[in-house]
Structure 1
């Protein structure tokens, strides 16, 4: 049964026209009145729904029974990362969503190849959020990870870094970094750089903000690989 994310709150018995994005999804699948789909709104659980009407650009549905199923990871892990170039960021967001990341913070640092600002940055963030939604539709997650608006590393460390209760890790090849190990924490944030990593000055700023320098092993992983390896290790 097709799974479709609906950004508006759902409730059993409700009947309404799907928003444009989900409606296009139904039309692309060539569903017909009477067909059933699974809807989720990101608040947990999912609903069985029935297509009641197919218009040229609109789709009417009726929401049926609710299933409170949860498929979330056992721990809340946030990724803050220097954006890899080209389409590698799309791949990273997709896989992070599939594997269970709670949120993704794209960052621009000194060595970031992809430089974005203004409307271009907003469009990219919206695109990455759509990638995360599609990944959740495919993998069965009912809670979509938030892809935050793009920030510079300095702005993020100064104003938006995680609360002190969140364990903070910084990927670093410098001494005295320690091997990253899964802890019993409920929530953690992993910070990594783009191609070329973070500069020594950026690492110092992150450590001053409470990040613990860690390494993932003897190999030097790509910018799009390291956050996923850390995610899986922290999820245990």
Structure 2
């Protein structure tokens, strides 16, 4: 059955925000956002009576049936609610230095499939990408949509937040995580205020920097395995660019409490490192 993200921050720029699905009684008729109308009704050629699944990121998912289709609009009836979440047992945020083109899309897509909670986009001394102010909104929307599409495919009901780019210096030296708002694409602006994501405002239980293998450096921080035995630990991962972090950035990371973590004896590409790190964390919780 087809799954679609129902964004209450409607992609119709001249329209009012849509209601949360959880605020509506079963049997209610709901107008679909343009993106779902286009994909489901035009691209996939759905018909009245076809059924699908909607999730709005606020918890669970909703079984719906198409009731009407016109040139620009479509409505569904909400038939049932499932409380299935499928979120990872670890709350995780990746500080990821931006890379070019498909490599960045791949890192976000696969991190989403592996249950990452948020990705903080970073610039660094050796990074390939430094967005101009006029580019930020468009790129942020694109990468958030990559994450949402991955959720639709893999069954995750709470999409990861893609956080607006900032320099690694600012991220590592900011005094706390107590900022009143997470800076995200308008598509998920209200969703980012949900209690599930507010834990990202708190200090992480452990901060790990994916590092290049080095002689004499422990492969795994001692604190990691005991932490993974706790309920819902919050872990931050720092992943650098292809050229690696500068010595100064490594010092900043250490000063900010990031412990080096080397996974194996190989040097991983920047788009591979998030996948390996998240998969390893999940395997260690089993």
**If the TM-score is normalised by the length of the shorter chain, which range does it land in?**
over 0.9
User: Structure 1 residues 6 and 188 mapped into 2: Cα distance closer, same or farther (>3 Å)?
Assistant: same
Match of 1:167 among 189, 206, 229: 206
Instruction: Tell me the TM-score normalised to structure 1 length.
Output: 0.94
Q: Is 1:179 matched with 2:219?
A: yes
State the partner residue of 1:50: 65
Distance in 2 separating the partners of 1:13 and 1:98: 31
Secondary structure, counterpart of 2:122 in structure 1: strand
Kept in 2: contact 1:83–1:106 (CA 8 A): yes
Instruction: Please tell me the root mean square deviation across aligned C-alpha atoms, in Å.
Output: 1.7
Distance in 1 separating the partners of 2:168 and 2:239: 10
State the partner residue of 1:81: 96
Distance in 1 separating the partners of 2:40 and 2:78: 15
State the partner residue of 1:207: 254
User: Structure 1 residues 175 and 85 mapped into 2: Cα distance closer, same or farther (>3 Å)?
Assistant: farther
Kept in 2: contact 1:46–1:68 (CA 8 A): yes
Distance in 1 separating the partners of 2:210 and 2:84: 34
Distance in 2 separating the partners of 1:164 and 1:74: 18
Distance in 2 separating the partners of 1:81 and 1:192: 5
5+ unaligned residues in a row in structure 1: which ranges? none
Instruction: Tell me the TM-score normalised to structure 2 length.
Output: 0.78
Q: Is 1:14 matched with 2:54?
A: no
Kept in 2: contact 1:4–1:39 (CA 8 A): yes
Note the C-alpha offset of 1:175: 6.4
State the partner residue of 2:170: 155
Q: Is 1:23 matched with 2:37?
A: yes
State the partner residue of 1:230: 277
Secondary structure, counterpart of 2:121 in structure 1: strand
Distance in 2 separating the partners of 1:119 and 1:148: 16
Q: Is 1:97 matched with 2:112?
A: yes
Kept in 1: contact 2:204–2:236 (CA 8 A): no
Higher-strand-fraction structure = 1
Q: Is 1:216 matched with 2:255?
A: no
Distance in 2 separating the partners of 1:200 and 1:175: 17
Note the C-alpha offset of 1:165: 4.1
Distance in 2 separating the partners of 1:82 and 1:144: 20
5+ unaligned residues in a row in structure 2: which ranges? 9-19, 178-199
